[in-house]
Amino acid sequence: MVRRTDSRTHPPRGTPGRDQLVARLADRAKFIRLETVRLAEIPGAGHYTGTFSAAELIASLYYAQLRYRPDQPDWPDRDRLVLSKGHAAIGLYPVLADVGFFDAGLLDDYTRLGSAFGDHPDMRKIKGVDFSSGSLGHGLPVGAGMALAARVRGRDHRVYCVTGDGELGEGQIWEAAMAAGHYELGSLVVIVDRNRLSIDGPTEDIMGIEPLAGKFASFRWNVQRIDGHDLDAILDAYDRLEPPGRGRPQVIIADTVKGRGVRRMEGDVGWHVGRLAGADYDEVIAEITAGLQPLDTGGRSD
Amino acid sequence: MTDAGQQDMSGLFRGTDGTHPEPKGRAADWTEETSEPASERRGKLGGSSAPEAQSNTDPKSGRGISATSIPAFVAGAELADLADTDERIVVLTADLAHANRTIDFGARHPGRFFNVGVAEQNMVSIAAGMAASGLLPYAATFAAYVALLACEQIRTDCAYTGMPVRILGHHSGMSLGFYGTSHHSLEDLGIMRTIAGLTVVCAADASQLRAILRASLSHPGPMYIRMGRGRDPQVYEQPPADFRIGRAARLREGSDLTLITTGSEVHPCLAAAESLAAAGISARVVDMHTIRPLDTGEIAAAAGETGGVLTVEEHNVTGGLGSAVAETLADARLAPRFRRLGVPDVHVLLGPPAALYAHYQLDAAGIESAARDLLAS
């Protein structure tokens, strides 16, 4: 296997470079949340909370970790990103536009008849989307296929896959987890947005998925578990990844809070799909603009 | 499926795969009709035009025990040949590498062969991911599992995305006989042909399968390739040079009616047409190998020129070839004498395949009888 020659390592903690990077990522996570709120107004509904929980993860991937060329979206050596939790696409689209895959003005037609941009991402219509998603559980096997293809073709890119936690109930996830361990897909990096809520309630009430780290480990994966809103922790996790190639597949379980960044939504199962209106809208914009505040842990439902 | 399979397919690969442990137990394969004399079986299934079925039968036991007794399972070898010059080709299977002979591909291209174990959905989605990275994946397993269990993966990961994944659904129809309904695939055409962007092709025999595979190299989008039991009697002596996906093959001219058929029923339809001819009835035979996109012109020609259409398929009469032809006739306001012959919307009886074909009128005699009924109607 060809070894990656340009592995990105991030500036160490405590250095000005690191502080600048973290500040930049925090700003872009804020941008993701603001754009999510703006776009959700167009159809009058949106997956706010599952996008907010992944905002730091998506920002860190596109602004610090992934290897890609916006002017060459089909570049064979690019890192792939499969957004298995496709309902967070509303937070992905603005990023793809922001980094240069397409004109941000296209998003003004979000969800309108004939638009390329729906609730779930379509690879055939949107530059920068490496695979269509929406049907939960598919991203991990698709990503495994991409990692196998990289091996067949002798390429050194990684394949990142962002999954939700509720979708880990899909059997296909574990079929693919088993195959990735068996085939030693060290180029496959799964990031679980562990926000602890699926549509009907807390995952541990609906269908418990813990002990999650132990599950992946027993499937022959390397496991890291971090605070998925702590940008320093996310960057450290990326830096701890084994190089791509043959080896254990790698999972980063990112403990997050569904709805993070908007107090009324944090940990509230009722906001899986919702709508803001009037004064609420303005308040939420102001709250997001102010940046992440300490959690009101009394409001968490887990 | 796995337990029975490992027990019963042991005879499939004796002496053909040095990497596999010597099979134990009696020789048999997935489709052996154990309750029927071999001579009778050949008569029903192969007829005089099935040299492989006879020449590869073990003279002592009367049973086909070697890999070459399943001459239609040439996909592994054919793809291995094609892969010598086409670097995109990869092959996947789900714990049936010996039963479907994809092991023949694995032996020659081990780095491009992936056995994902008993995980059909995973196989299809992995193939889709491979296709997204520029590979041309062929994913083979029992039709019953890939088309029914992994239907959503075919639609969402292959068809919606336009990925050039080739699904090889073998042992389709009721060819797994006494294994029962769990192993039968009498719904796959109905399901697959409603998926937008998916090409659906049925192979009548080994030669046509080779032609399909060769054509698949440059065909855009995903394909579902339906294969029979692997012991299918020969219809085409060579891979037909004029094979085109989407263009039906008129195998026999006729003026009194047309048998429109596909896959495993092509051979018995030809035999039925021969018998009908002896009785003065001129039956056209059309191999509608491509179910989607359908050759509607050939259907209209059959209706207009022969005035009678009998569809014949190893599939539930609901949703498959017969339904597709009926839709075409209705859309075109054509009203020939028309009947659909297939499995009559039931979960079929348990039994050896040959007995099932006879019971459900899907052997040559049954087709001939149905054709006579149509003309008398």
User: DSSP labels for A127-147?
Assistant: TT--S---STT-HHHHHHHHH
Establish if B157 touches chain A: CB-CB under 8 angstroms. Answer: yes
**Strand ranges inside chain B, DSSP E:** 89-93, 113-115, 136-142, 166-170, 199-202, 223-226, 249-252, 257-261, 283-287, 290-292, 308-316, 337-343
DSSP result, B335-371: --EEEEEEE-SSPPPPS-HHHHHHHTT-SHHHHHHHH
β-strand B283-287 against B249-252: which pairing, if any? Answer: antiparallel
- According to CATH, the topology of domain B1-244 is Rossmann fold (3.40.50)
Return d(Cα B234, Cα B289) in angstroms, integer.
Answer: 15
Query: Predicted confidence band at B14 (pLDDT cuts at 50, 70, 90)?
Result: very low
Ranges for all domains in chain B classified under CATH 3.40.50.970? 1-244
Q: How many residues does chain A have?
A: 302
Token pair for B192: 């697959």
b/e string for A240-250 if b means 16 or more Cβ within 10 A? ebeebbeebbb
Chain B: residue whose CA lies nearest to A81: B129
pLDDT of residue A58: 98
pLDDT for residue A260: 96
Q: Which residue has the higher pLDDT, B13 or B322?
A: B322
Q: Which fold has domain B249-376?
A: Rossmann fold (3.40.50)
CB contact under 8 Å between A145 and B128, yes or no, is yes
Q: What is the pLDDT of residues B315-371, one digit of tens each?
A: 999 999 999 999 999 999 999 999 999 999 999 999 999 999 999 999 999 999 999
B114 touches chain A (CB under 8 A): yes
Helices (H) and strands (E) in chain B, counts: 15, 12
Q: A141–B129: do the CB atoms touch at under 8 Å? A: yes
| Mean local confidence (pLDDT), B219-233 | 93
Q: Please say if the pLDDT value at position A184 is more than 60.
A: yes
B128 and A142 within 8 Å at the Cβ level: the answer is yes
Decide: A113 and A119 in contact? Cβ < 8 Å: no
Interatomic CA distance for residues B346 and B327, integer angstroms: 22
Tell me, what's the pLDDT at A277? 78
A299 touches chain B (CB under 8 A): no
Q: Which of A148, A172, A182 sits opposite B121 (nearest CB)?
A: A172
Q: Which of A131, A150, A152 sits opposite B111 (nearest CB)?
A: A152
Q: Do B126 and A131 touch (CB under 8 A)?
A: no
Q: What pLDDT sits at residue B32?
A: 45
Q: Region B46-67: what's the mean pLDDT? A: 34
d(CA B254, CA B281): 8
To the nearest whole Å, the CA of A218 is away from the closest chain B CA by 18
Which domains, and CATH codes, for chain A? 16-293 (3.40.50.970)
Give me B142's structure tokens.
């029992």
Q: Which range has the worst mean pLDDT, A87-96, B21-30, B199-208? A: B21-30
Residue A301: phi, psi to the nearest 5? -95, 0
Quick one: average pLDDT of B270-274?
A: 98
Per-residue pLDDT for B258 more than 50?
yes
- The stretch B69-95 carries a mean pLDDT of 90
B121 → closest Cβ in A143, A150, A175 = A175
Q: Which residue of B86, B125, B152, B161 to mutate against A (max A Cβ within 10 Å)?
A: B125
Taking CA atoms, B298 is separated from B198, B272, B375, in Å, by 21, 20, 20
Closest residue on chain B to A151 (Cα) = B111
Question: What predicted TM-score, i.e. pTM, was given to this entire model?
Answer: 0.89
B136 and B162 Cβ atoms separated by less than 8 Å: no
Predicted pLDDT of residue A228: 98
Task: For A243-272, write each residue's pLDDT tens digit.
Answer: 999 999 999 999 999 999 999 999 888 887
Q: With an 8 Å Cβ cutoff, is A42 touching chain B?
A: no
Cross-chain Cβ contact A141/B135 below 8 Å: no
Interface probe, candidates B86, B88, B116, B122, chain A, greatest A C-beta count within 10 A: B122
Here the tokens at position B34 are 């154990």
Q: Is A76 on the interface with B (CB under 8 A)?
A: yes
The ipTM is: 0.94
Residue ranges of chain B that CATH labels 3.40.50.920: 249-376
Q: What are phi and psi of B376, to 5 degrees?
A: -85, -10
CA distance B134 to chain A (A): 8
3-class DSSP state for residue A73? coil
User: What is chain B's mean pLDDT, rounded?
Assistant: 86
Which pLDDT does position B250 carry in this prediction? 98
pLDDT greater than 50 at residue B28:
no
Contacts of A4 (CB under 8 A, 6+ apart): A156, A157, A158, A243, A244, A245
Residue from the list B129, B152, B160 with its beta carbon closest to the beta carbon of A142? B129
Q: Using a CB-CB distance cutoff of 8 angstroms, which residues of chain B are in contact with residue A171? A: 121
pLDDT tens, residue by residue, B98-148: 999 999 999 999 999 999 999 999 999 999 999 999 999 999 999 999 999
Nearest CA to B130 out of B113, B109, B117 is that of: B113
Q: Do A131 and B161 touch (CB under 8 A)?
A: yes
Looking at chain A, the whole-number percentage of residues with pLDDT higher than 70 is 95
